[in-house]
Structure 1
Amino acid sequence: MEDPAVSVLKRAVELDLASRFQESLVCYQEGIDLLLRVLKATNDEKKKAHYRDKITDYMNRAEAIKKYLEKEKEEGKYHKEIKIEENMKGFSYEKLFQEYLNETVTEVWVEDPYVRHVHQLYNFLRFCEMLVKGPCKVKTIHLLTSHDEGNGKGQQMSILEEIQQSLRDFSVTLDVSYSSSIHDREIRFNNGWIFKIGRGLDYFKKPQGRFCLGYCDFDLRPCHETTVDIFHVKHTKKT
Protein backbone atom coordinates (compact mmCIF):
# COMPACT_ATOMS: atom_id res chain seq x y z
CA MET A 1 0.00 0.00 0.00
CA GLU A 2 2.95 2.34 0.68
CA ASP A 3 4.29 2.22 -2.89
CA PRO A 4 0.98 3.27 -4.51
CA ALA A 5 0.67 6.12 -2.00
CA VAL A 6 4.20 7.33 -2.76
CA SER A 7 3.55 7.10 -6.50
CA VAL A 8 0.31 9.09 -6.35
CA LEU A 9 1.75 11.75 -4.04
CA LYS A 10 4.84 12.09 -6.22
CA ARG A 11 2.52 12.76 -9.16
CA ALA A 12 0.60 15.29 -7.04
CA VAL A 13 3.80 17.22 -6.36
CA GLU A 14 4.78 17.14 -10.05
CA LEU A 15 1.39 18.51 -11.08
CA ASP A 16 1.57 21.08 -8.30
CA LEU A 17 4.96 22.34 -9.52
CA ALA A 18 3.58 22.51 -13.06
CA SER A 19 0.70 24.71 -11.79
CA ARG A 20 -1.85 22.08 -12.77
CA PHE A 21 -3.61 22.64 -9.48
CA GLN A 22 -6.97 21.02 -10.16
CA GLU A 23 -5.32 17.73 -11.13
CA SER A 24 -2.77 17.94 -8.32
CA LEU A 25 -5.56 18.39 -5.75
CA VAL A 26 -7.22 15.16 -6.90
CA CYS A 27 -3.89 13.31 -6.59
CA TYR A 28 -3.16 14.79 -3.16
CA GLN A 29 -6.56 13.68 -1.91
CA GLU A 30 -6.13 10.16 -3.30
CA GLY A 31 -2.56 9.88 -2.00
CA ILE A 32 -3.52 11.09 1.48
CA ASP A 33 -6.29 8.48 1.61
CA LEU A 34 -3.80 5.74 0.68
CA LEU A 35 -1.26 7.00 3.22
CA LEU A 36 -3.92 7.00 5.96
CA ARG A 37 -4.51 3.32 5.21
CA VAL A 38 -0.76 2.67 5.51
CA LEU A 39 -0.74 4.50 8.85
CA LYS A 40 -3.64 2.42 10.13
CA ALA A 41 -1.91 -0.84 9.18
CA THR A 42 1.48 0.12 10.74
CA ASN A 43 2.51 -0.96 14.24
CA ASP A 44 5.93 0.71 14.25
CA GLU A 45 5.57 3.92 16.29
CA LYS A 46 8.52 5.61 14.57
CA LYS A 47 6.98 4.98 11.15
CA LYS A 48 3.61 6.12 12.42
CA ALA A 49 5.08 9.45 13.51
CA HIS A 50 6.74 9.83 10.08
CA TYR A 51 3.49 9.09 8.23
CA ARG A 52 1.54 11.52 10.44
CA ASP A 53 4.00 14.31 9.63
CA LYS A 54 3.79 13.57 5.91
CA ILE A 55 -0.01 13.39 5.98
CA THR A 56 -0.18 16.74 7.79
CA ASP A 57 2.13 18.35 5.22
CA TYR A 58 0.15 17.02 2.26
CA MET A 59 -3.19 17.94 3.84
CA ASN A 60 -1.99 21.50 4.43
CA ARG A 61 -0.88 21.80 0.81
CA ALA A 62 -4.14 20.30 -0.48
CA GLU A 63 -6.14 22.76 1.64
CA ALA A 64 -4.06 25.68 0.33
CA ILE A 65 -4.70 24.59 -3.29
CA LYS A 66 -8.41 24.20 -2.58
CA LYS A 67 -8.62 27.74 -1.20
CA TYR A 68 -6.65 29.08 -4.15
CA LEU A 69 -9.00 27.42 -6.65
CA GLU A 70 -12.04 28.75 -4.79
CA LYS A 71 -10.58 32.27 -4.94
CA GLU A 72 -9.86 31.90 -8.65
CA LYS A 73 -13.43 30.74 -9.19
CA GLU A 74 -14.84 33.73 -7.32
CA GLU A 75 -12.68 36.16 -9.30
CA GLY A 76 -13.60 34.60 -12.64
CA LYS A 77 -10.06 33.39 -13.38
CA TYR A 78 -10.85 29.71 -12.89
CA HIS A 79 -10.36 27.24 -15.73
CA LYS A 80 -11.00 23.54 -15.48
CA GLU A 81 -10.36 20.93 -18.15
CA ILE A 82 -11.98 17.52 -17.92
CA LYS A 83 -10.78 14.79 -20.27
CA ILE A 84 -13.41 12.10 -20.72
CA GLU A 85 -11.78 8.97 -22.09
CA GLU A 86 -13.42 6.40 -24.34
CA ASN A 87 -15.93 4.20 -22.45
CA MET A 88 -15.57 6.10 -19.16
CA LYS A 89 -18.66 6.28 -16.95
CA GLY A 90 -19.80 8.72 -14.28
CA PHE A 91 -20.18 11.83 -16.43
CA SER A 92 -23.89 12.62 -16.38
CA TYR A 93 -25.01 16.20 -16.96
CA GLU A 94 -25.43 16.59 -13.20
CA LYS A 95 -21.79 15.58 -12.73
CA LEU A 96 -20.58 18.27 -15.14
CA PHE A 97 -22.94 21.15 -14.49
CA GLN A 98 -24.44 20.88 -10.98
CA GLU A 99 -21.45 22.51 -9.26
CA TYR A 100 -22.03 25.70 -11.28
CA LEU A 101 -25.80 25.89 -10.95
CA ASN A 102 -27.14 28.08 -8.16
CA GLU A 103 -30.12 30.35 -7.57
CA THR A 104 -28.57 33.13 -9.67
CA VAL A 105 -28.92 31.06 -12.85
CA THR A 106 -32.08 32.20 -14.62
CA GLU A 107 -31.03 32.04 -18.28
CA VAL A 108 -29.12 29.41 -20.24
CA TRP A 109 -27.76 29.40 -23.80
CA VAL A 110 -27.09 26.14 -25.66
CA GLU A 111 -25.30 26.31 -29.01
CA ASP A 112 -25.03 22.85 -30.52
CA PRO A 113 -25.46 22.00 -34.22
CA TYR A 114 -26.35 18.40 -33.40
CA VAL A 115 -29.66 18.53 -31.57
CA ARG A 116 -31.33 16.84 -34.53
CA HIS A 117 -31.78 13.09 -34.21
CA VAL A 118 -34.06 11.45 -31.67
CA HIS A 119 -31.27 10.40 -29.26
CA GLN A 120 -29.78 13.93 -29.42
CA LEU A 121 -33.17 15.44 -28.68
CA TYR A 122 -33.50 13.09 -25.70
CA ASN A 123 -30.09 14.37 -24.52
CA PHE A 124 -31.36 17.94 -24.71
CA LEU A 125 -34.54 16.95 -22.87
CA ARG A 126 -32.50 15.42 -20.02
CA PHE A 127 -30.38 18.57 -19.88
CA CYS A 128 -33.58 20.63 -19.54
CA GLU A 129 -34.86 18.31 -16.80
CA MET A 130 -31.65 18.90 -14.84
CA LEU A 131 -32.12 22.67 -15.10
CA VAL A 132 -35.76 22.53 -14.03
CA LYS A 133 -34.98 20.42 -10.96
CA GLY A 134 -32.78 23.20 -9.57
CA PRO A 135 -31.29 24.55 -7.40
CA CYS A 136 -31.23 27.20 -10.15
CA LYS A 137 -34.28 29.30 -11.05
CA VAL A 138 -34.14 29.01 -14.83
CA LYS A 139 -36.76 31.03 -16.67
CA THR A 140 -35.39 30.97 -20.23
CA ILE A 141 -33.42 28.43 -22.25
CA HIS A 142 -32.06 29.48 -25.64
CA LEU A 143 -31.23 26.72 -28.11
CA LEU A 144 -29.30 27.45 -31.30
CA THR A 145 -28.95 24.38 -33.49
CA SER A 146 -29.15 23.32 -37.13
CA HIS A 147 -32.03 21.75 -39.04
CA ASP A 148 -32.00 18.04 -39.62
CA GLU A 149 -31.40 17.27 -43.25
CA GLY A 150 -34.00 15.48 -45.30
CA ASN A 151 -37.09 13.83 -43.85
CA GLY A 152 -36.05 14.26 -40.22
CA LYS A 153 -36.61 18.04 -40.19
CA GLY A 154 -40.33 17.78 -39.40
CA GLN A 155 -39.75 15.29 -36.60
CA GLN A 156 -37.00 17.47 -35.11
CA MET A 157 -39.23 20.56 -35.06
CA SER A 158 -42.18 18.60 -33.68
CA ILE A 159 -40.14 17.16 -30.79
CA LEU A 160 -38.66 20.56 -29.91
CA GLU A 161 -42.15 22.05 -29.89
CA GLU A 162 -43.24 19.28 -27.51
CA ILE A 163 -40.30 20.03 -25.20
CA GLN A 164 -41.17 23.72 -25.49
CA GLN A 165 -44.76 23.08 -24.41
CA SER A 166 -43.68 20.84 -21.54
CA LEU A 167 -41.25 23.48 -20.23
CA ARG A 168 -44.09 26.02 -20.19
CA ASP A 169 -45.78 23.86 -17.55
CA PHE A 170 -42.76 24.64 -15.36
CA SER A 171 -42.83 28.37 -16.24
CA VAL A 172 -39.73 28.02 -18.43
CA THR A 173 -39.52 29.52 -21.92
CA LEU A 174 -37.62 27.62 -24.60
CA ASP A 175 -36.40 29.86 -27.43
CA VAL A 176 -35.31 27.80 -30.46
CA SER A 177 -33.29 29.22 -33.35
CA TYR A 178 -31.72 27.50 -36.34
CA SER A 179 -28.50 28.21 -38.21
CA SER A 180 -27.03 26.46 -41.24
CA SER A 181 -23.51 27.70 -40.44
CA ILE A 182 -23.20 26.84 -36.73
CA HIS A 183 -20.22 24.62 -35.90
CA ASP A 184 -19.10 25.46 -32.36
CA ARG A 185 -20.59 23.82 -29.30
CA GLU A 186 -21.00 25.96 -26.21
CA ILE A 187 -23.23 26.20 -23.14
CA ARG A 188 -23.46 29.41 -21.11
CA PHE A 189 -25.14 30.30 -17.83
CA ASN A 190 -26.01 33.90 -17.04
CA ASN A 191 -23.94 33.69 -13.83
CA GLY A 192 -20.86 33.76 -16.05
CA TRP A 193 -19.95 30.08 -16.44
CA ILE A 194 -19.11 28.82 -19.93
CA PHE A 195 -18.76 25.18 -20.99
CA LYS A 196 -17.12 24.06 -24.22
CA ILE A 197 -17.63 20.35 -24.87
CA GLY A 198 -15.93 18.82 -27.89
CA ARG A 199 -18.96 16.68 -28.72
CA GLY A 200 -21.61 19.01 -27.31
CA LEU A 201 -24.36 17.28 -25.34
CA ASP A 202 -23.98 14.16 -27.47
CA TYR A 203 -20.99 12.52 -25.75
CA PHE A 204 -22.81 9.41 -24.56
CA LYS A 205 -22.66 6.08 -26.35
CA LYS A 206 -25.80 4.32 -27.45
CA PRO A 207 -27.04 1.89 -24.76
CA GLN A 208 -27.00 -1.79 -25.65
CA GLY A 209 -30.72 -2.03 -25.02
CA ARG A 210 -33.70 -0.33 -23.39
CA PHE A 211 -33.35 -2.46 -20.28
CA CYS A 212 -29.60 -2.16 -19.83
CA LEU A 213 -28.03 -0.15 -17.02
CA GLY A 214 -27.26 3.32 -18.27
CA TYR A 215 -30.37 3.65 -20.42
CA CYS A 216 -31.99 5.93 -17.84
CA ASP A 217 -29.09 6.83 -15.53
CA PHE A 218 -26.44 8.63 -17.59
CA ASP A 219 -23.83 8.15 -14.85
CA LEU A 220 -23.86 4.45 -15.78
CA ARG A 221 -23.60 5.02 -19.53
CA PRO A 222 -20.23 4.76 -21.34
CA CYS A 223 -19.01 7.95 -23.01
CA HIS A 224 -17.25 8.83 -26.23
CA GLU A 225 -13.86 10.44 -25.82
CA THR A 226 -14.16 14.22 -25.49
CA THR A 227 -12.80 17.24 -23.63
CA VAL A 228 -14.78 19.65 -21.46
CA ASP A 229 -13.41 23.16 -20.82
CA ILE A 230 -15.06 25.15 -18.04
CA PHE A 231 -14.27 28.78 -17.42
CA HIS A 232 -15.83 32.02 -16.25
CA VAL A 233 -16.17 35.49 -17.68
CA LYS A 234 -17.31 38.66 -15.91
CA HIS A 235 -20.19 39.30 -18.32
CA THR A 236 -22.14 36.76 -20.31
CA LYS A 237 -23.49 37.41 -23.77
CA LYS A 238 -27.05 38.65 -23.71
CA THR A 239 -29.49 37.87 -26.48
Structure 2
Amino acid sequence: MTQNHVSGMEASAVSVLKRAVELDQNGRFQESLVCYQEGIQLLMDVLKVVRDESKRGHYRERIKGYMDRAEQIKAHVNQVKEDGKYHEEIKIAEDATGYSYEVLFKPYISSTLTEVWVEDPYIRHTHQLYNFLRFCEMLLKAPCKVKQIHLLTSEDETNSSQQRSALAEMKDSLRTQGVTLDLQYSSTIHDREIRFDNGWIIKIGRGLDYFKRPKGRFSVGYCDYDLRQCQETTVDIFHTKHTKSL
Protein backbone atom coordinates (compact mmCIF):
# COMPACT_ATOMS: atom_id res chain seq x y z
CA MET A 1 0.00 0.00 0.00
CA THR A 2 1.42 3.38 -1.03
CA GLN A 3 2.19 6.20 1.37
CA ASN A 4 -0.31 8.38 -0.50
CA HIS A 5 -3.04 5.83 0.14
CA VAL A 6 -2.21 5.70 3.87
CA SER A 7 -2.17 9.52 4.00
CA GLY A 8 -5.57 9.57 2.33
CA MET A 9 -6.96 7.11 4.88
CA GLU A 10 -5.57 9.20 7.71
CA ALA A 11 -7.01 12.40 6.24
CA SER A 12 -10.44 10.74 6.09
CA ALA A 13 -10.14 9.66 9.72
CA VAL A 14 -9.05 13.15 10.81
CA SER A 15 -11.98 14.74 8.95
CA VAL A 16 -14.56 12.42 10.55
CA LEU A 17 -13.05 12.76 14.04
CA LYS A 18 -12.90 16.56 13.72
CA ARG A 19 -16.64 16.48 12.98
CA ALA A 20 -17.15 14.17 15.98
CA VAL A 21 -15.40 16.66 18.30
CA GLU A 22 -17.46 19.58 16.92
CA LEU A 23 -20.73 17.70 17.45
CA ASP A 24 -19.55 16.63 20.91
CA GLN A 25 -18.79 20.22 21.90
CA ASN A 26 -22.21 21.35 20.62
CA GLY A 27 -24.01 18.76 22.75
CA ARG A 28 -25.14 16.69 19.76
CA PHE A 29 -24.01 13.50 21.46
CA GLN A 30 -25.79 10.79 19.49
CA GLU A 31 -24.47 12.23 16.21
CA SER A 32 -20.98 12.65 17.63
CA LEU A 33 -20.99 9.02 18.80
CA VAL A 34 -21.62 7.82 15.24
CA CYS A 35 -18.74 9.97 13.94
CA TYR A 36 -16.38 8.83 16.73
CA GLN A 37 -17.12 5.20 15.88
CA GLU A 38 -16.54 5.76 12.16
CA GLY A 39 -13.34 7.74 12.80
CA ILE A 40 -11.96 5.14 15.22
CA GLN A 41 -12.57 2.40 12.64
CA LEU A 42 -10.73 4.44 9.99
CA LEU A 43 -7.77 4.97 12.35
CA MET A 44 -7.69 1.25 13.11
CA ASP A 45 -7.54 0.57 9.37
CA VAL A 46 -4.54 2.91 9.16
CA LEU A 47 -2.91 1.14 12.12
CA LYS A 48 -3.15 -2.19 10.28
CA VAL A 49 -0.93 -0.99 7.43
CA VAL A 50 1.57 1.24 9.25
CA ARG A 51 4.87 -0.50 10.01
CA ASP A 52 6.81 2.25 11.81
CA GLU A 53 6.57 1.37 15.53
CA SER A 54 6.69 4.97 16.78
CA LYS A 55 3.82 5.89 14.45
CA ARG A 56 1.91 2.79 15.55
CA GLY A 57 2.26 3.91 19.16
CA HIS A 58 0.99 7.35 18.20
CA TYR A 59 -2.09 5.88 16.47
CA ARG A 60 -2.79 3.51 19.38
CA GLU A 61 -2.73 6.46 21.78
CA ARG A 62 -5.13 8.48 19.63
CA ILE A 63 -7.47 5.52 19.18
CA LYS A 64 -7.55 4.93 22.93
CA GLY A 65 -8.35 8.59 23.62
CA TYR A 66 -11.23 8.65 21.15
CA MET A 67 -12.53 5.28 22.38
CA ASP A 68 -12.53 6.54 25.98
CA ARG A 69 -14.50 9.63 24.95
CA ALA A 70 -16.95 7.54 22.91
CA GLU A 71 -17.56 5.29 25.92
CA GLN A 72 -18.21 8.34 28.12
CA ILE A 73 -20.73 9.70 25.61
CA LYS A 74 -22.41 6.30 25.28
CA ALA A 75 -22.79 6.09 29.06
CA HIS A 76 -24.16 9.64 29.23
CA VAL A 77 -26.66 9.06 26.40
CA ASN A 78 -27.82 5.78 27.94
CA GLN A 79 -28.32 7.46 31.31
CA VAL A 80 -30.42 10.36 30.02
CA LYS A 81 -32.41 7.93 27.85
CA GLU A 82 -33.04 5.81 30.94
CA ASP A 83 -34.12 8.91 32.86
CA GLY A 84 -36.46 9.91 30.03
CA LYS A 85 -34.70 13.27 29.68
CA TYR A 86 -33.01 12.92 26.31
CA HIS A 87 -33.46 15.99 24.10
CA GLU A 88 -31.23 17.15 21.29
CA GLU A 89 -31.81 20.12 18.98
CA ILE A 90 -30.45 20.61 15.49
CA LYS A 91 -30.92 23.97 13.80
CA ILE A 92 -30.76 23.77 10.02
CA ALA A 93 -29.84 27.19 8.63
CA GLU A 94 -31.34 28.78 5.53
CA ASP A 95 -29.51 27.52 2.40
CA ALA A 96 -27.52 24.94 4.42
CA THR A 97 -26.50 21.74 2.64
CA GLY A 98 -25.46 18.31 3.91
CA TYR A 99 -28.80 17.36 5.50
CA SER A 100 -30.07 14.48 3.40
CA TYR A 101 -32.36 11.99 5.11
CA GLU A 102 -29.41 9.58 5.35
CA VAL A 103 -27.36 12.15 7.29
CA LEU A 104 -30.20 13.38 9.50
CA PHE A 105 -31.63 10.00 10.54
CA LYS A 106 -28.53 7.78 10.51
CA PRO A 107 -27.58 8.33 14.19
CA TYR A 108 -30.99 7.08 15.32
CA ILE A 109 -31.30 3.97 13.16
CA SER A 110 -30.21 0.72 14.78
CA SER A 111 -30.39 -2.96 13.90
CA THR A 112 -33.38 -3.31 16.26
CA LEU A 113 -35.53 -0.88 14.25
CA THR A 114 -38.49 -2.68 12.65
CA GLU A 115 -41.41 -0.24 12.68
CA VAL A 116 -41.70 3.47 11.80
CA TRP A 117 -44.53 6.00 12.21
CA VAL A 118 -44.60 9.16 10.06
CA GLU A 119 -47.10 11.90 10.87
CA ASP A 120 -46.86 14.67 8.29
CA PRO A 121 -49.85 16.59 6.87
CA TYR A 122 -47.92 17.56 3.75
CA ILE A 123 -47.32 14.35 1.82
CA ARG A 124 -49.58 15.60 -0.96
CA HIS A 125 -47.87 17.30 -3.89
CA THR A 126 -45.52 15.52 -6.30
CA HIS A 127 -42.27 16.72 -4.67
CA GLN A 128 -43.59 15.84 -1.18
CA LEU A 129 -44.56 12.35 -2.35
CA TYR A 130 -41.04 11.93 -3.73
CA ASN A 131 -39.66 13.10 -0.38
CA PHE A 132 -41.60 10.35 1.38
CA LEU A 133 -40.41 7.81 -1.19
CA ARG A 134 -36.80 8.87 -0.59
CA PHE A 135 -37.34 8.52 3.15
CA CYS A 136 -38.63 4.96 2.61
CA GLU A 137 -35.68 4.16 0.33
CA MET A 138 -33.32 5.45 3.02
CA LEU A 139 -34.87 3.02 5.51
CA LEU A 140 -34.53 0.13 3.06
CA LYS A 141 -30.80 0.83 2.63
CA ALA A 142 -30.14 1.42 6.33
CA PRO A 143 -28.69 -1.27 8.67
CA CYS A 144 -32.10 -2.16 10.10
CA LYS A 145 -34.95 -4.54 9.38
CA VAL A 146 -37.95 -2.27 8.88
CA LYS A 147 -41.06 -4.33 8.26
CA GLN A 148 -43.80 -1.75 8.71
CA ILE A 149 -44.13 1.96 7.92
CA HIS A 150 -47.20 3.89 9.07
CA LEU A 151 -48.07 7.15 7.31
CA LEU A 152 -50.66 9.55 8.70
CA THR A 153 -51.17 12.53 6.40
CA SER A 154 -53.92 14.84 5.13
CA GLU A 155 -55.76 14.41 1.86
CA ASP A 156 -54.93 16.69 -1.05
CA GLU A 157 -58.27 18.38 -1.66
CA THR A 158 -57.25 19.68 -5.10
CA ASN A 159 -55.83 16.44 -6.52
CA SER A 160 -56.54 13.53 -4.21
CA SER A 161 -56.49 11.01 -7.07
CA GLN A 162 -52.80 11.70 -7.82
CA GLN A 163 -51.91 11.50 -4.14
CA ARG A 164 -53.80 8.24 -3.59
CA SER A 165 -52.45 6.72 -6.81
CA ALA A 166 -48.83 7.58 -5.90
CA LEU A 167 -49.15 6.23 -2.36
CA ALA A 168 -50.84 3.05 -3.63
CA GLU A 169 -47.92 2.53 -6.02
CA MET A 170 -45.46 3.03 -3.15
CA LYS A 171 -47.43 0.55 -1.07
CA ASP A 172 -47.20 -2.10 -3.81
CA SER A 173 -43.52 -1.40 -4.41
CA LEU A 174 -42.62 -1.57 -0.71
CA ARG A 175 -44.50 -4.86 -0.43
CA THR A 176 -42.06 -6.38 -2.95
CA GLN A 177 -39.29 -5.36 -0.50
CA GLY A 178 -41.02 -7.09 2.41
CA VAL A 179 -42.31 -3.85 3.94
CA THR A 180 -45.96 -3.06 4.72
CA LEU A 181 -47.07 0.55 4.23
CA ASP A 182 -50.08 1.43 6.39
CA LEU A 183 -51.86 4.56 5.09
CA GLN A 184 -54.25 6.74 7.06
CA TYR A 185 -55.69 10.19 6.39
CA SER A 186 -56.71 12.89 8.85
CA SER A 187 -58.28 16.30 8.22
CA THR A 188 -57.12 17.61 11.60
CA ILE A 189 -53.46 16.49 11.67
CA HIS A 190 -51.08 19.39 12.25
CA ASP A 191 -47.95 18.15 14.02
CA ARG A 192 -45.05 16.62 12.15
CA GLU A 193 -43.35 13.72 13.87
CA ILE A 194 -41.39 10.58 13.03
CA ARG A 195 -41.21 7.76 15.56
CA PHE A 196 -38.97 4.70 15.53
CA ASP A 197 -39.81 1.61 17.58
CA ASN A 198 -36.27 1.66 19.02
CA GLY A 199 -37.38 4.67 21.09
CA TRP A 200 -36.31 7.67 19.01
CA ILE A 201 -38.74 10.48 18.16
CA ILE A 202 -37.72 13.10 15.58
CA LYS A 203 -39.78 16.26 15.19
CA ILE A 204 -38.93 18.47 12.21
CA GLY A 205 -40.55 21.90 12.01
CA ARG A 206 -41.16 21.51 8.29
CA GLY A 207 -41.64 17.75 8.28
CA LEU A 208 -39.88 15.91 5.46
CA ASP A 209 -40.36 18.93 3.19
CA TYR A 210 -37.39 21.03 4.35
CA PHE A 211 -35.52 21.14 1.05
CA LYS A 212 -35.58 24.08 -1.35
CA ARG A 213 -36.67 23.60 -4.92
CA PRO A 214 -33.55 23.11 -7.08
CA LYS A 215 -32.89 25.84 -9.65
CA GLY A 216 -33.41 23.37 -12.48
CA ARG A 217 -33.64 19.68 -13.33
CA PHE A 218 -29.95 19.71 -14.27
CA SER A 219 -28.75 21.72 -11.27
CA VAL A 220 -26.48 20.31 -8.56
CA GLY A 221 -28.67 18.97 -5.75
CA TYR A 222 -31.49 17.81 -8.01
CA CYS A 223 -30.53 14.13 -7.53
CA ASP A 224 -28.29 14.23 -4.44
CA TYR A 225 -30.13 15.64 -1.42
CA ASP A 226 -26.84 16.14 0.46
CA LEU A 227 -26.08 18.88 -2.06
CA ARG A 228 -29.54 20.42 -2.04
CA GLN A 229 -30.10 23.66 -0.12
CA CYS A 230 -32.46 23.56 2.85
CA GLN A 231 -35.04 25.90 4.27
CA GLU A 232 -34.44 27.07 7.81
CA THR A 233 -35.96 24.65 10.29
CA THR A 234 -35.43 23.07 13.70
CA VAL A 235 -35.13 19.36 14.41
CA ASP A 236 -35.92 18.14 17.93
CA ILE A 237 -34.88 14.63 18.93
CA PHE A 238 -36.25 12.81 21.95
CA HIS A 239 -36.03 9.29 23.29
CA THR A 240 -38.71 7.31 25.05
CA LYS A 241 -38.92 3.71 26.21
CA HIS A 242 -42.62 3.64 25.32
CA THR A 243 -42.79 4.64 21.64
CA LYS A 244 -45.58 2.24 20.69
CA SER A 245 -47.92 3.52 23.36
CA LEU A 246 -47.74 7.11 22.15
TM-score if structure 2 supplies the norm length?
Answer: 0.70
- The AA in structure 2 aligned to 1:214 is G
Structure with max Cα Rg:
1
SS class of match (2:28) = helix
What is the alpha-carbon distance in structure 2 between the residues aligned to residue 119 and residue 238 of structure 1?
A: 32
Q: Percent identity?
A: 63
The offset of 1:64, in angstroms, is 8.4
| Alpha-carbon separation, structure 2, partners of 1:69 and 1:83 | 22
What amino acid does structure 2 have at the position aligned with 1:183?
H
Shift of 1:63: 6.4
Find the residue that maps to 1:237 and give its secondary structure: helix
Rounded Cα–Cα distance in structure 1 between residues aligned with 2:110 and 2:145? 8
* Counterpart check, 1:213 vs 2:223: no
8 Å CA contact 2:114, 2:197 repeated in 1? yes
How has the CA–CA distance of structure 1 residues 65 and 86 changed in structure 2, closer, same or farther, with 3 Å as cutoff?
farther
Q: Distance in 1 between matches of 2:211 and 2:89?
A: 18
- C-alpha displacement of 1:149: 1.4
Matches within 5 A, 1:184-203: 184-203=191-210
Which range moves more in the overlay, 95-104 or 194-203? 95-104
| Residues 1:169 and 2:176 aligned together | yes
Between the aligned partners of 1:208 and 1:70, the Cα distance in structure 2 is: 40
Gaps of 5+ in 1: 1-11, 27-58
Pairwise CA RMSD of aligned residues? 2.8
The farther-off stretch of 67-76 and 195-204 is 67-76
> What residue is the counterpart of 1:37 in the other structure?
none
Matched length? 191
For residues 145 and 80 of structure 2, what CA distance do their matches in structure 1 show? 21
Question: In structure 1, what is the equivalent of residue 119 of structure 2?
Answer: 111
Gaps of 5+ in 2: 1-21, 33-65
Rounded Cα–Cα distance in structure 1 between residues aligned with 2:109 and 2:76: 17
- What letter is aligned with 1:148? D
**Maintained 8 Å contact 1:112/1:200:** yes
Secondary structure at the residue paired with 1:21?
coil
Q: Tell me what 1:158 maps to.
A: 165
Q: Is the 8 A contact 2:81 2:240 kept in 1?
A: no
Q: Distance in 1 between matches of 2:173 and 2:95?
A: 32
Residues 1:204 and 1:69: Cα distance change in structure 2 (over 3 Å): farther
1:227 pairs with one of 220, 224, 234: 234
TM-score, with structure 1 as normaliser: 0.72
Structure 2 Cα separation of the partners of residues 67 and 165 of structure 1 = 39
Q: Supply the AA of the counterpart residue of 2:27.
A: F
Alpha-carbon distance in structure 2 between the residues aligned to 1:114 and 1:169:
26
Q: Secondary structure at the match of 2:133?
A: helix
Matches of 1:71 and 1:238 in 2, distance apart? Answer: 21
- Cα distance, 1:209 vs. partner? 1.1
Distance across 1 between alignment mates of 2:147 and 2:191 = 24
Q: Assess if the C-alpha contact under 8 Å between 2:204 and 2:235 holds in 1.
A: yes
Deviations 1:19-66 (A, max 9, x none): x7338x98xxxxxxxxxxxxxxxxxxxxxxxxxxxxxxxx9x976863
Kindly indicate whether the alpha-carbon contact (under 8 Å) linking 1:21 and 1:65 is maintained by their aligned counterparts in 2: no
Distance 1:173 1:64, change over 3 A: closer
